[in-house]
């Protein structure tokens, strides 16, 4: 990979040990994936935050680094609500390690927003054609597909390296040749709410790391697109998709005359996702995967109006989103539900002790059984609220 004079001097350690190690990561990645050069990134989103996932080894690695992020860099969710962790039954040891991790990232200049939806908080971190280095799979999908930006799915270390250097190797989804649809998925029926998560759950399994181009009958909202992409990134490893007439268009529709494979889906395939994951016996309900937007908080507040929850109900969102809508948070919590910030049902250890959790998210459906070893039921938002408010 070609390195400029300045990049070469960082690589040789002339700007300190941390930057040398960061440059080493970027160069190694670039060499493995055949990048020709490093390109500047507009922003970074850093995963590898929950103590549940990175443990002591991760904490030690981050604590050892010195330096400051040189581009806007935002932290992914942690393993607990940083203010209300005791209400989540998080133990003191976990809480103290988690705080150390967050403080270590903070010292490196990473913004402690602790969210997988940074695009809800900042409008100036990703736009059409911008190169990014984002980590969390649903954020990557949203950035590539809905915002029209360009990012690979970074690991924690490579995202941190991009934050401190301000660059990433140009390969994968940074190049238009790798952003061409591989599958055309046609649906001739309407979708609503959690159906988009169910659709993503089905299509992710079918296409793996492919690039679907959807032809939909209904017009998805921004939150629907978020749910669709998140589910495909979890049940498969889809990092970019298109919805005809809704998202930015692909750079081209075929490469070397190779047309995308056609997939037709019926309503029965979406219904099957609900049927395969009944809500009965769920002892907890978790919503907000990816983190809730203001509109989603509003919908949940409306559904909970005048009702009292009988089971633990978490509504996960970014702290800044909760702070922007205090009336909605109050309305939700008046029912007994908890608006949980900085974390989520997947990356927090608090979910692991549950037997069965009800969700309306295709991504949580895909991840909870494997990552938290809990059974999972899948339903609409209305059905999940019914479960939470029933004895």
- Using CB under 6 A as the binding rule, whether residue 38 contacts ligand F3S is answered as no
The residue from 79, 156, 157, 290 that contacts ligand F3S (CB under 6 A) is 290
Q: Which is nearer to ligand F3S, 18 or 138 (CB)?
A: 138
For ligand F3S, the binding residue among 164, 243, 339, 344 (CB under 6 A) is 344
Give yes or no for a contact between 255 and 179, defined as CB atoms under 8 angstroms apart.
no
Member of 291, 299, 338, 354 binding ligand F3S (CB under 6 A) = 291
Q: Which is nearer to ligand F3S, 314 or 325 (CB)?
A: 314
User: Applying CB under 6 A, does 346 fall inside the site for ligand F3S?
Assistant: yes
CB 191 within 8 A of CB 216: yes
- Measured from the CB atom, the residue of 138 and 321 that comes closer to ligand F3S is 138
State the nearest-atom distance from the C-beta of 134 to ligand F3S, in Å.
12
**Could you give the string, one character per residue 186-205, with x where binding to ligand F3S holds by CB under 6 A and - elsewhere?**
--------------------
- Which one of 56-64, 207-215, 249-257, 339-347 is the stretch in contact with ligand F3S (CB under 6 A)? 339-347
| Backbone φ/ψ region at 373: left (φ over 0), alpha (ψ -120 to 50), beta | left
Do residues 342 and 95 touch, judged by C-beta distance below 8 A? Answer: no
**Residue 347 binds ligand F3S (CB under 6 A):** yes
Does 116 bind ligand F3S (CB under 6 A)? Our answer is yes
Q: What is the nearest approach in angstroms of ligand F3S to the Cβ of residue 231? A: 10
Burial class (CB in 10 A: 0-12, 13-18, 19+), 222: middle
What's CA 228's distance to the chain center, in Å? 11
Considering only the stretches 86-94, 161-169, 292-300, 343-351, report the one whose residues sit in contact with ligand F3S under the rule CB under 6 A.
Answer: 343-351
Cross-strand bridge partners of residue 265: 187
**For residues 133 and 124, what is the distance between their CA atoms, to the nearest angstrom?**
15
Element (H, E) at 319: helix 319-324
Tokens found for residue 29:
């990645």
Interhelix angle 294-304/326-334, nearest 10 degrees: 30
- 231 binds ligand F3S per the rule CB under 6 A: no
Q: Which of residues 61-90 bind ligand F3S (CB under 6 A)?
A: 77
* Smallest separation, CB 367 to ligand F3S (Å): 6
Q: 101: closest CA among 66, 142, 54, 134?
A: 54
Which residue stretch of 96-104, 284-292, 297-305, 373-381 sits at the interface with ligand F3S (rule: CB under 6 A)? 284-292
- Taking a C-beta distance cutoff of 8 angstroms, is the pair 357, 338 a contact? no
**Site size for ligand F3S (CB under 6 A):** 14
Going from the C-alpha of 60 to that of each of 54, 57, 188, 375, the distances in angstroms are 10, 5, 52, 33
Distance between CA atoms of 50 and 231, rounded to whole angstroms?
21
**Residue 299, interface with ligand F3S (CB under 6 A)?**
no
Which of 45, 138, 317, 380 lies at the binding interface for ligand F3S (CB under 6 A)? 138
Among 363, 365, 379, 385, binds ligand F3S (CB under 6 A): 363
* Burial letters 89-119, b for 16+ CB under 10 A, else e: ebeeebbebbebbbebbeebebbbbbbbbbb
Minimum CB separation from ligand F3S for residue 162, in Å? 19
Q: Which is nearer to ligand F3S, 161 or 232 (CB)?
A: 232
Tokens 């002591």 belong to residue: 56
- Quickly tell me which residue has 């695009």 as its tokens: 119
Work out whether 120 is an interface residue with ligand F3S (CB under 6 A): no
For tokens 């910030």, the residue is 341
What residues line the site for ligand F3S (CB under 6 A)? 77, 116, 136, 138, 230, 289-291, 316, 344, 346-347, 363, 367
């Amino acid at each position: 990979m070609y390195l400029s004079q300045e990049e070469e001097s960082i690589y040789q350690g002339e700007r300190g040990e941390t930057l040398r190690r960061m440059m080493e990561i970027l160069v190694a990645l670039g060499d493995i994936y055949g990048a020709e050069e490093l390109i500047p990134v507009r922003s970074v989103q850093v995963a590898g935050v929950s103590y549940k996932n990175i443990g002591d080894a991760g904490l030690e690695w981050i604590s050892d680094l010195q330096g400051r992020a040189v581009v806007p860099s935002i932290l992914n969710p942690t393993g607990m609500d940083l203010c209300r962790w005791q209400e989540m039954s998080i133990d003191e040891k976990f809480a103290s390690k988690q705080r150390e991790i967050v403080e270590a990232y903070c010292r490196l200049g990473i913004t402690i927003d602790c969210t997988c939806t940074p695009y809800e908080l900042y409008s100036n971190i990703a736009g059409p054609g911008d190169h990014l280095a984002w980590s969390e799979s649903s954020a990557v999908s949203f950035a590539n597909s809905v915002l029209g930006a360009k990012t690979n799915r970074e690991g924690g270390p490579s995202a941190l390296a991009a934050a401190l250097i301000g660059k990433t190797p140009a390969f994968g989804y940074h190049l238009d040749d790798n952003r061409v649809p591989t599958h055309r998925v046609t649906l001739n029926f309407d979708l609503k709410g959690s159906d988009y998560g169910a659709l993503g759950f089905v299509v992710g399994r079918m296409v793996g790391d492919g690039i679907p181009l959807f032809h939909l009958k209904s017009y998805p909202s921004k939150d629907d697109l978020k749910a669709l992409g998140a589910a495909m990134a979890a049940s498969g490893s889809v990092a970019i998709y298109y919805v005809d007439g809704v998202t930015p268009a692909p750079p081209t529709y075929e490469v070397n005359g190779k047309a995308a494979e056609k997939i037709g889906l019926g309503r029965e395939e979406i219904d099957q996702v609900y049927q395969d994951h009944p809500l009965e016996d769920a002892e907890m309900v978790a919503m907000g995967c990816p983190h809730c937007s203001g509109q989603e908080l509003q919908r949940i507040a409306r559904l909970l109006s005048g009702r009292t929850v009988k089971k633990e109900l978490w509504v996960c969102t970014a702290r800044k989103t909760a702070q922007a809508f205090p009336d909605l948070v109050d309305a939700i919590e008046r029912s007994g539900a908890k608006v949980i910030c900085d974390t989520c049902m997947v990356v927090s250890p608090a979910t692991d002790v549950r037997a069965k959790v009800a969700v309306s998210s295709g991504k949580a459906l895909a991840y909870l059984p494997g990552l938290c070893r809990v059974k999972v039921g899948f339903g609409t938002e209305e059905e999940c609220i019914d479960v939470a408010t029933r004895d």
